[in-house]
Amino acid sequence: MKQRDGLPLNGLPIWVFTLSLLMGLGIASPLAWCQDAPSQPAAADTAALTSAVHDLQQQVQELRSAVAEMHSEAAQYRQQTDELRQELELTRQAAASSATPSRQTAAAPAGSSATAENSSAVEPAANQPKTSLAQRVESLEETTGLLNDKLNDQAQTRVESASKYRVRLSGLVLMNLFGNQGTTDNADLPSFAIPGNPGQPTSNFGATIRQSEIGLEVFGPEIAGAKVSGNMTADFTGGFPSTWNGVDSGLFRMLKANIRMDWENTAVVVGQDSLFISPSSPTSFASIAIPTFNYAGNLWAWTPQVRIDHDIHFGKDNDEDVKFQGGILDNLTGGFPTNSFDRTPQAGENSAQPAYAARVGWTHGLFGSPMTLGAAGYFSHQNWGFGRKVDGWAGMADWDIPLPARLAFSGEFYSGRAIAGIGAGIGRSVLYSGNPALSTTVAYGLHSRGGWSQLKLKATSKLEFNAALGLDNPDGSDAQQFSGGATYVGPTLVRNMGSLGNLIYRPRSNVILSAEYRHLATAGFLGDHYEANQINMIMGILF
């Protein structure tokens, strides 16, 4: 077979051609063995052989798809490279002709067609300065080199796995420049406003890249008719190392890691995942490590869970869908770890029961986009020691409604008790009547209600504007009756409100530019009131 530049005439790289041939031989061998095997093998051997052949066929099919995609891209680059090489060769010939015109004229017979063609090709080049020709040659050589590098990249394996199944790497590099007016609990990812320390500044400016994420997806085999897959996502917001300038060296933190089994209308999800009873959040790239309006009306948790999703499609064109979801979750109550190495159970885990959750959602087309309405419930049995048992619960509703003129309205509402573990109560599940270390102290589940709403304007395919408002409102009478509490900030807080406005521009599908203004207002029943503002400038790239 004739080759050119290390490639067969059909454009397929040699190593791909060889690999395909070897794979073909690898498939042919077990098939031939099957044909020569006894007519009545043992059942176990037959099942194992069938499974092996099926896996090999699947692997060959995946390889063929990858080769076809690579072949298509390589053909485009090769065509461009050939055109540039021809142009480069003509340019070199023209440069040589302009340098020795008398020699070329004497070499060709007078009046010949070759002389006419050469003179027509040489005259424009001869009229140009030699420096212009040199620059053009250099530019063409550089472009050709870049295209050759691109061809070599296509021949490389992107992500290699220890198993035979395909793995995909993805992620987000995100840079945040932020400035705060007022004191917040967290400078780069604020949840509420707090009183400032005497003598300390009440404004600051900083930058962080610790919200960047890394993700992996693995596409596994088919088991019992279900496609098996898994994914993992992590970021760098797990705290700060005790080192020089450690605020810019965030610790690796697990967000999600789950395994899915997907049938046609049913899925089983096992692992750590987002809170499925609260499926959406306000749109923002200023706060993704902690979802927007944390403790300000947005319920969320990345928690270990086992759940089942089931879809029912109906309507004239199956354009309507009802999704049922239900499962068990790690029974968390919003507390901080008491030990850096040994895991101490929280009050929910001390109940010896998981938390229970369920949601039903209805989706229907409206104005050319899906409209979704959902309702959900949550229950958590908790044991706070000394026989102090509290039942946490919540009911919630969510919506995502497209409107005319490129608008969309989305949000969530909830009401519940002892639900700091899923982002409510401003960090408190229970309040105490006194010292929690005493057996005579009463633990009381804090009632809380709240939610958020957002209006989105999709100005163009690349530009959108968002405005959102959120509120977490613990019961004031509960807070006044019980003076103590296990809380992130303080037991007197009864309201935390957040509002934001942002624009998000995507010049390319994987490039993000955004600017956001956020306002926080936090108040307690003693008349204490604190406010803070943040300006955030964001740039990110997806990979």
Average pLDDT for 28-47: 45
Residue with tokens 């955030």: 536
Residue 43: CB atoms within 10 Å: 8
Q: Is the dihedral of CA 157, 162, 163, 167 positive or negative?
A: negative
Which letter, b or e, does each residue of 164-191 get, where b requires 16 or more Cβ atoms within 10 Å of its Cβ?
A: ebbeeeebbebebebebebbbbebbbbb
The two structure tokens encoding residue 148: 């050759």
Average pLDDT for 332-338: 89
Contact 288, 211 (CB under 8 A): yes
Secondary-structure breakdown of the chain: helix, strand, coil percentages, each rounded to the nearest 5: 25, 40, 35
| CA 97 to chain CA centroid, nearest Å | 58
Average pLDDT for 437-456: 94
pTM (2 d.p.): 0.70
pLDDT class of 153 with cuts at 50, 70, 90: low
Which letter, b or e, does each residue of 11-34 get, where b requires 16 or more Cβ atoms within 10 Å of its Cβ?
A: bbbeebeeeeeeeeeeeeeeeeee
The two structure tokens encoding residue 246: 């450690």
Contact 491, 448 (CB under 8 A): no
71 vs 527, higher pLDDT: 527
- How many angstroms separate the CA atoms of 513 and 285, rounded? 9
Q: What are the residues facing 414 on neighbouring strands?
A: 396, 450
Q: Measuring CA to CA, how many Å separate 55 from each of 43, 44, 45, 261?
A: 18, 17, 15, 18
In the chain, the domains with their CATH numbers are 1-156 (no CATH), 166-542 (2.40.160.10)
Average pLDDT for 512-528: 95
pLDDT class of 446 with cuts at 50, 70, 90: very high
Contact 300, 422 (CB under 8 A): yes
Query: Taking all residues of the chain, what is their mean pLDDT, rounded to a whole number?
Result: 82
Candidates 224, 331, 307; CA nearest to 259 is 307
Q: What are the residues facing 234 on neighbouring strands?
A: 214, 254
Average pLDDT for 54-67: 65
Pairing of strands 7-8, 493-505: unpaired
What integer pLDDT is reported at residue 214 of this predicted model? 96
pLDDT digits (tens, 9 = 90+) for 192-234: 999 988 888 999 999 999 999 999 999 989 999 999 999 999 9
| Measured CA angle at 296 (ends 292, 298), to 5 deg | 55
The two structure tokens encoding residue 344: 């101490």
| CA 537 to chain CA centroid, nearest Å | 20
pLDDT class of 114 with cuts at 50, 70, 90: very low
- How many angstroms separate the CA atoms of 73 and 83, rounded? 16
Average pLDDT for 31-60: 53
User: First CA to last CA across the chain, in angstroms?
Assistant: 39
Contact 372, 361 (CB under 8 A): yes
For 283-333, give the secondary structure using H, E and C: CCCCCCCCCCCECCCECCCCEEEEEEEEEEEECCCCCEEEEEEEEEECCCC
Lowest mean pLDDT across 55-64, 199-208, 409-418 = 55-64
Q: Which residues contact 292 (CB under 8 A, 6 or more apart)?
A: 281, 282, 283, 284, 286, 298, 468, 470, 498, 500
The two structure tokens encoding residue 213: 């994420």
Candidates 330, 390, 331, 400; CA nearest to 362 is 400
Candidates 390, 395, 393; CA nearest to 430 is 390
Q: Measuring CA to CA, how many Å separate 160 from each of 59, 230, 494?
A: 14, 16, 52
Residue-by-residue DSSP string for 224-257: TTEEEEEEEEEES-S---SSTTGGGSPPPEEEEE
Classify residue 53 by burial, with Cβ atoms within 10 Å: 0-12, 13-18, 19+.
Answer: middle
Which letter does DSSP use for residue 351 in this model?
G
Classify residue 379 by burial, with Cβ atoms within 10 Å: 0-12, 13-18, 19+.
Answer: middle
Contact 285, 174 (CB under 8 A): yes
Lowest mean pLDDT across 37-41, 159-163, 169-173 = 37-41
- How many angstroms separate the CA atoms of 386 and 369, rounded? 53
pLDDT at 76 over 50: yes
pLDDT class of 81 with cuts at 50, 70, 90: confident
Contact 209, 173 (CB under 8 A): yes
Residues in the chain, total: 543
pLDDT class of 61 with cuts at 50, 70, 90: low
pLDDT at 43 over 70: no
Candidates 407, 191, 432; CA nearest to 300 is 191
What integer pLDDT is reported at residue 18 of this predicted model? 45
524 vs 490, higher pLDDT: 524
pLDDT at 350 over 80: yes
Candidates 439, 417, 449; CA nearest to 430 is 417
The number of CA neighbours under 13 Å toward the Cβ of 296 is 27
pLDDT class of 317 with cuts at 50, 70, 90: confident
